[in-house]
Amino acid sequence: MDRNTFTGLFLIMIVLAGSFYFFKPSEAEMKKERERISLDSAMKAGTKPAAPANLPAAAPVVDSLALKGPFGTNISGTATTSVLENSALKLTFSNKGGKIKSVEVKSEKSYIGKPVVLFDGDDNKFGLSLNIGGKMIRTDDLYFTATQTGNSMVMRANYSADKYIEFVYGLNAADAHDVSFNINLNGMNQVIERDSIALNWETVLLQQEKSLQAEQQYSAPYYKYVDQNPDHLSFAKDESQELNKAKIEWIAFKQHFFSAVLIPADPFIKGNVNVKILTAPGEIKGYTANVNLPFNQLAVQNYKMKFYFGTNQFAVLKKQGQELEKLVEMGYWPLKYINRFVVLPVFNFLEGFGWNYGLIILVLTIALKLVLSPLTYKSYISMAKMRILKPEMDEIKAKVGEDNATLLQQEYLKLYKQVGVNPLGGCLPMLLQLPIVMAFFFFFPNLFELRGQSFLWMHDLSTYDDFIKFGFTVPFIGDHLSLMCVLMTISTLIYTYFNNQVSGATGQMKYIGYIMPIVFLGVLNKYPAGLNYYYFLANMMTFGQQYLIKSMVNDEKIHNILKENKKKPEEQKKKSKFQTRLDDYMRQQQQVKTQEKKNK
């Protein structure tokens, strides 16, 4: 053994010896320990030990509530689950927090074929925050006692023998998507401080659809003030919103095609909602809602509410009442009115025949094109007139020159006036059709009925058909190529080509028409196949309409009519509104020129 080892061992012995000496128990402590051992031995032997001489004859009884604090017996426990279900929903309850732990929407599957579970796990929180004795108690942290009776689940947390909190859930109908929910506070007025209590609801949305980006794009918390239209937080960014403008009729955690909605019998006083975009795999967004419930210091206080857990199908939500159908985005004004009162009723009517949804979209497109055919015809005739006038317009341009744009425009306007042509006649019918084209941009991406419906090679009309998967991301295009989007783009290019032949477009206007379809290829590549399918059909039918109109219209006859109009005296010409405004414009221009000459 070397010197260093010996020195170390010697110092350790000194430390141990000192510890035994200085920390030796006192005589009183040793006596108390002997009495404890004697007491334990007597209890094991089944005899009652005599009370030590220095202890009182009877020790006071200590209440467990005083030892553990509020809800002492509910602070710790073992988490267990219970299930309520009907043909529409499967609800899994947790005794920790007395809450609905997860919700499965039956008969619906996620994009990978698993059951649709709206929320699950520890990220889902629901409960009250109570101010008791200056301390904030969260029921989400308590262990409730669960009692199931038929389709009813009662969760109770006892503050004491005659004071408790009770959450009562009920599935009242065999196929119901709504769940009754009552909060009962019994005797809690003796311990709860303040005149209101807080209800907290938090959840993390789980991915259900093929396109994570699209699901985030159409998911947001919604809320509705009493006597006001529903509103929502941002779809594209994290946001918080204080709800204090009026009483709150309901709060909805809306996902793309599914929603969880909390509807109180008596509106909430005020609250706040929050949304956060999540980046973890399989997660869409995180929602938080906090609302205030009035506490009137009654011995028994009840709060009646209900949940809606289900699909964002317009008809189903409308049956729930309270304008829940407005969770389905139909676009901005006037697009939402076109979708709600024109497109949706026609779609529902066709749906009643039980056809495949690809066929329904086809018939819907044909019906709309027939209704809009007068506008298409008028647009074609106007463009044909402009094409026939082009040689005369070229002569005017050669005569006046391109440098004097004002004079050139005036000469064009004179020509239009002479032949009775409205240069905007071809654009106005197209502009009138534009709201319908834009309305479908909102209609199909939010149409639940298309979810999971296949047609031809498209397995799901509610999302993109990734006919070609790149395995990597291509700028502007993405990680796939949608065949229906490609067909839509090709049809648009063909339509543009023939449209230029009809209108006689030249220069920049001619090439802009070819650029736009390419731009839309990048934009619509990630949009639902059903939307691209509609645009493809609309292009092909418009092309067919124009081909039919072209075979019926004689350009020479139109040219002769324009010549006859040119020969008519000015007073015999029937002026259109455009021509009236044109005359006013020309008079104003003439007055300006006259004034400029005077000033010189």
Please give the full DSSP string across 323-382, using - where no structure is assigned. TGGGGS---STTHHHHIIIIIHHHHHHHHTTT--HHHHHHHHHHHHHHHHHHHHHHHHHH
Interaxial angle between packed helices 529-552 and 427-443, expressed in degrees from 0 to 180 and rounded to the nearest 10: 160
pLDDT tens digits, residue range 130-155? 988 788 889 999 999 999 998 999 99
pTM for the model stands at 0.77
Q: Averaged over 323-338, what is the pLDDT?
A: 92
> What is the domain partition of the chain in residue ranges?
73-328, 345-561, 569-599
DSSP 450: G
pLDDT value of residue 58: 36
Tell me the percentage of the chain whose pLDDT exceeds 90: 50
Which among 197, 205, 184 is positioned nearest to 116, based on CA atoms? 205
Interaxial angle between packed helices 507-524 and 529-552, expressed in degrees from 0 to 180 and rounded to the nearest 10: 150
What are the Cα distances from residue 383, in Å, to 223, 378, 425? 48, 9, 8
User: Are 445 and 218 spatial neighbours (Cβ–Cβ below 8 Å)?
Assistant: yes
pLDDT tens digits, residue range 70-85? 777 788 888 999 999 9
SS3 431: helix
Strand-pair partners of 482: 466
Between 165 and 400, whose confidence is greater? 165
Distance CA 142, CA 130 (A): 12
1: Cβ contacts below 8 Å, ≥ 6 apart? none
User: Are 184 and 166 spatial neighbours (Cβ–Cβ below 8 Å)?
Assistant: yes
User: Are 324 and 318 spatial neighbours (Cβ–Cβ below 8 Å)?
Assistant: yes
Looking at domain 73-328, its CATH class is mainly beta
Distance CA 123, CA 483 (A): 39
Please give the full DSSP string across 181-219, using - where no structure is assigned. EEEEEESGGGTB-SSEEEEEEEEEEEP-SS-HHHHHHT-
pLDDT above 50 (res 2) = no
Average pLDDT, the chain: 83
Residue showing tokens 């599957």:
109
Interaxial angle between packed helices 357-400 and 529-552, expressed in degrees from 0 to 180 and rounded to the nearest 10: 50
Query: Which of 231-235, 434-438, 503-507, 577-581 holds the top average pLDDT?
Result: 231-235
Q: Is the dihedral of CA 106, 110, 112, 114 positive or negative?
A: negative
Cα dihedral 118, 165, 250, 283, rounded to 10, equals: -20
pLDDT above 80 (res 306) = yes
Beta strands in 209-281 (DSSP E): 220-225, 231-232, 239-243, 248-254, 258-264, 271-277
276: Cβ contacts below 8 Å, ≥ 6 apart? 238, 285, 286
**Tokens found for residue 113:** 């074929």
pLDDT value of residue 246: 94
Residue 580 phi/psi, 5° resolution? -60, -45
Distance CA 382, CA 346 (A): 31
Using pLDDT thresholds of 50, 70 and 90, give the confidence band for residue 216. Answer: very high
User: Are 443 and 339 spatial neighbours (Cβ–Cβ below 8 Å)?
Assistant: yes
Q: Which helix (H) or strand (E) holds 285?
A: strand 283-294
pLDDT tens digits, residue range 403-439? 777 777 778 888 887 787 777 766 766 777 788 889 9
DSSP 140: G
**Tokens found for residue 156:** 């109770």
Cα dihedral 413, 414, 419, 423, rounded to 10, equals: 0
